[in-house]
Structure 1
Amino acid sequence: MTTDEIIRTFLDHYHRHGHQDAPESSLVPPSGDPVLFTTSGMHPLTPYLLGRPHPGGRRLANVQRCLRTTDLDEVGDSTHLTVFQMLGSWSLGDYDIATSLRWGYDLLTGGFGIPMGRLHATVFGGGSGEGPDDTARDTWTGLGVPVEALGEDNWWSNGPTGPCGPDSEIFVWTGDGPPTGTPTTDARWVEVWNHVQMRYHRHPDGRLTPLPVSSIDTGMGLERLEMVLRGDRSVFTGDGLRRWVDEVGNWDLHGTDLRVVSDHLRSAVVVLGDGVRPGNTGRGYVLRRLLRRALTVLWRDDPARSLDELPPELYAETLRRFRQTSGPGTLPGGQPVDVGSLRATLLDEERRFRGLLRRGRPLVDRVRARGPLSERDYHWLHDTHGLPRDLVDGLLADAS
């Protein structure tokens, strides 16, 4: 299946079960939200999970673009991405976890054709004063899917405070031959879907209080599901990333370097598509960090390489895949994203970074000649010369 076909199959499945489309949100949360970026499909729905009625009703589904800075250090392996798409479904005080799991099973085995024998589930086995999730366990057992009961690994929260509750994760066997072991003993079991029971609100002091209604929130990564359906071992072979890998590969990058540059440049395009511009703080700094990490890897062997060599069609295709070509949720006011302006921003940031490296390298070398850098040295390089710590560390690594 193509990614477009996967999305249509997912949404059609939930439409048949009475779900309405929830509007997709920008990567940039609304004013007043303390989070830098939309991190999951449930993030824009948090007020409704806390009890506010949703104008679309109690059954919702959508596809949402997401960004997780917590995964930055893991990007470079075969399955983690900075920006990705999340297929989500919600029951806002409507059906229960047993119904959600049965419908999920039907979609995976019927809609997507995954053999039941390649599925494995995990459920919350109890802990921190909460009992085991017997309903989820019994549902999986009744469907004939092997199930493993775990502790905190099956307790979901979107942060230190807010809605949370027990979850059930669904894994697909990606190894050769018959499945062996369990998700906790064999890494060839890949998680594709999480069904969360939003039962509680966690307060800053750690207390859990029941939510006004118990809801179901499910999230399934599109790129990872596509990988599983293709029978691949890497998300970088899929529709949304293969063109980036091909173009970046023309610079003779391989392995982790190829994946990091492909991921970071694609992510930067999507962030730019939602109106963020490079800066020294907040969202702008995350974007700048993505670009500079990609350029640092790109220039390691050949400083003459330039983003100017990437075709504009690559940017346009990415914006289309993330539904940023026009309409609400892209730039302020809903105006279309201009590929030429976006490309110019990337090249301007590249030019700025070249200049910073040219000025910064002799400064770092001079300070380093006196011995290991102290915290005072880092502060001086940053406050006086605009060299952030991660860039200084990169220059030190290049020199060693």
Structure 2
Amino acid sequence: MDTEHVIDTFLDFFTSRGHRRVTGTSLLPPPGDPVLFTTSGMHPLTPFLEGRDHPLGDRLVNVQRCLRTTDLEEVGDPTHLTVFEMLGSWSLRSYDGPQSLRWGHELLCDGFGVDPGLLHVTVFGGDDQVGPDTGSLDTWTSLGVPVELTVSENWWSNGPTGPCGPDSEVFVWTGDGPPTGTPTTDDRWTEVWNHVMMRYRRHPDGSLTPLSDSTVDTGMGLERMLMFLQGKRSVFETDLLTPWVRGLPWDLPDNRLVVDHLRSSVVVIGDGVTPSNTGRGYVLRRLLRRVLTTLWRDDPDRTLSDLPEPLVRGTLTHFGQSGGVFEVLRDEERRFRSLVTRGRTLVSRYRDPLTEQDFRYLHETHGIPRDLVVVLREM
């Protein structure tokens, strides 16, 4: 299954079961939301998960692009990306968790053709406030899927207070040979889907009260699902990302970080963000400068102007965006080259080894981040 087929299969499955499609077209949250970027498929729907009626009804489905800065340091491994897409379904007080799990199993096995023997799930096993999620446990058991009970790993919340509840995570086996172990004991089990049953509200004192009507929120990582369905070892080998892996004009020992950060930057710019020293613009600036630092480590003459235009156009088309990207890239590269030229002179005044105080001073006073200082010492 290619990307388009997977997305269509997911959307068609849920629309045929009464779900209405809602847009998930921007990384930017609604006005007044304090977060910098949309971090999950459910984020834009928070008011409706908390009780407000949605104009399209009580069953929804969408494809939402997301950005998580918390994953930046993990980018480069087989499954983490800065910008990714989440396939989501929601029951706003329409059907319960077990129904969501049964449909999930049907979609995976019948819709996507997943071998049931390659599935494993985790379920909330209970703590000192809430008992085990017997509804999910009984459902998976009846479907013949092995279950591992956990505690904190299967309790979802959007913060210290507010709606929360147990969740059930679905894993697929990505190792060679028959499955072994469990999701918490063998990392070859890869999580692809999470079903959250929001049944409680947590108060400032830590206590829980049941919600009058529970909701169900599910999120499936598109790139991870593609990796599994296409039999690849990483998300970078899927049809969605191989154009970037193969199309970069620079010979790099490992180009995963450059691929991720450049592609993510294109999407962020496509949503109207420009580099700056604060907020969303700072996240974009950090992504681009990490790319340039990596490129210039071996060859200071490398330039983002060499980026093939079809790569950028293909990504913008996939996300329903339009141009203006290269102007932003060239302007930020020009600014960063100026900083590097000035920084080389400043850094050369220091003797090895640099102290933490040296790094802090160069960053806070002159705007030269640690990784750039290290590169400048090597150049």
* Alignment partner, residue 133 of structure 1: 133
For residues 73-101 of structure 1, the C-alpha deviation after alignment (integer angstroms, 9 at most, x for no partner) is: 10010100000000000000110111000
| CA distance in structure 2 between the partners assigned to 1:204 and 1:296 by the alignment | 44
Please say if 1:317 is aligned against 2:314: yes
Give the Å deviation of 1:352: 0.8
Give the Å deviation of 1:371: 6.6
Is contact 2:25-2:319 (8 Å) kept?
no
| CA distance in structure 1 between the partners assigned to 2:160 and 2:347 by the alignment | 38
Give the Å deviation of 1:196: 0.4
Count of paired positions? 378
| 1:195 aligned counterpart, secondary structure | strand
* Alignment partner, residue 251 of structure 2: 252
Please say if 1:357 is aligned against 2:340: yes
Is contact 1:50-1:211 (8 Å) kept?
no
| CA distance in structure 2 between the partners assigned to 1:224 and 1:180 by the alignment | 20
Residues 212, 299 of structure 1: CA spacing in aligned structure 2 closer, same or farther, 3 A cutoff? farther
Aligned residue identity for 1:300: R
Aligned residue identity for 2:252: L
Please say if 1:394 is aligned against 2:377: no
Give the Å deviation of 1:398: 4.9
* Alignment partner, residue 17 of structure 2: 17
Give the Å deviation of 1:203: 4.0
| 1:240 aligned counterpart, secondary structure | coil
Aligned residue identity for 1:274: D
* Alignment partner, residue 351 of structure 2: 369
| CA distance in structure 1 between the partners assigned to 2:271 and 2:209 by the alignment | 36
Map residues 98-177 of structure 1 onto 2, 5 A cutoff: 98-177=98-177
| 1:239 aligned counterpart, secondary structure | coil
* Alignment partner, residue 348 of structure 1: 331
| CA distance in structure 2 between the partners assigned to 1:95 and 1:316 by the alignment | 41
Give the Å deviation of 1:70: 0.7
Give the Å deviation of 1:222: 0.5
Is contact 2:347-2:376 (8 Å) kept?
no
Please say if 1:202 is aligned against 2:185: no
* Alignment partner, residue 288 of structure 1: 285
Residues 171, 383 of structure 1: CA spacing in aligned structure 2 closer, same or farther, 3 A cutoff? closer
| CA distance in structure 2 between the partners assigned to 1:370 and 1:298 by the alignment | 24
* Alignment partner, residue 331 of structure 1: none
| CA distance in structure 2 between the partners assigned to 1:270 and 1:299 by the alignment | 23
| CA distance in structure 2 between the partners assigned to 1:269 and 1:177 by the alignment | 39
| CA distance in structure 1 between the partners assigned to 2:174 and 2:245 by the alignment | 22
Aligned residue identity for 1:65: R
For residues 32-89 of structure 1, the C-alpha deviation after alignment (integer angstroms, 9 at most, x for no partner) is: 1011100000000000010000001000000000000110110010100000000000
Aligned residue identity for 2:217: D
Is contact 1:201-1:211 (8 Å) kept?
yes
| CA distance in structure 1 between the partners assigned to 2:317 and 2:185 by the alignment | 39
TM-score w.r.t. the length of structure 1 is: 0.90
| CA distance in structure 2 between the partners assigned to 1:188 and 1:379 by the alignment | 39
Give the Å deviation of 1:300: 1.0
| 2:172 aligned counterpart, secondary structure | strand
Please say if 1:235 is aligned against 2:235: yes
| CA distance in structure 2 between the partners assigned to 1:87 and 1:347 by the alignment | 33
Name stretches of at least 5 consecutive residues in structure 1 with no aligned partner.
325-336
| CA distance in structure 2 between the partners assigned to 1:300 and 1:251 by the alignment | 12
| CA distance in structure 1 between the partners assigned to 2:161 and 2:311 by the alignment | 39
Deviates more, 1:313-322 or 1:201-210: 201-210
Aligned residue identity for 2:154: N
Name stretches of at least 5 consecutive residues in structure 2 with no aligned partner.
none
| 1:286 aligned counterpart, secondary structure | helix
| 1:114 aligned counterpart, secondary structure | coil
Deviates more, 1:102-111 or 1:183-192: 183-192
TM-score w.r.t. the length of structure 2 is: 0.95
Is contact 2:293-2:375 (8 Å) kept?
no
Give the Å deviation of 1:26: 1.4
Give the Å deviation of 1:16: 1.2
Give the Å deviation of 1:209: 3.5
| CA distance in structure 1 between the partners assigned to 2:5 and 2:194 by the alignment | 21
For residues 250-273 of structure 1, the C-alpha deviation after alignment (integer angstroms, 9 at most, x for no partner) is: 411133xx1100000000000001
* Alignment partner, residue 90 of structure 2: 90
For residues 362-396 of structure 1, the C-alpha deviation after alignment (integer angstroms, 9 at most, x for no partner) is: 21332x33974454x55654454333xxx134313
| CA distance in structure 2 between the partners assigned to 1:176 and 1:378 by the alignment | 45
| 1:300 aligned counterpart, secondary structure | helix
| CA distance in structure 1 between the partners assigned to 2:237 and 2:299 by the alignment | 25
* Alignment partner, residue 53 of structure 1: 53
Map residues 266-281 of structure 1 onto 2, 5 A cutoff: 266-281=263-278
Give the Å deviation of 1:207: 3.7
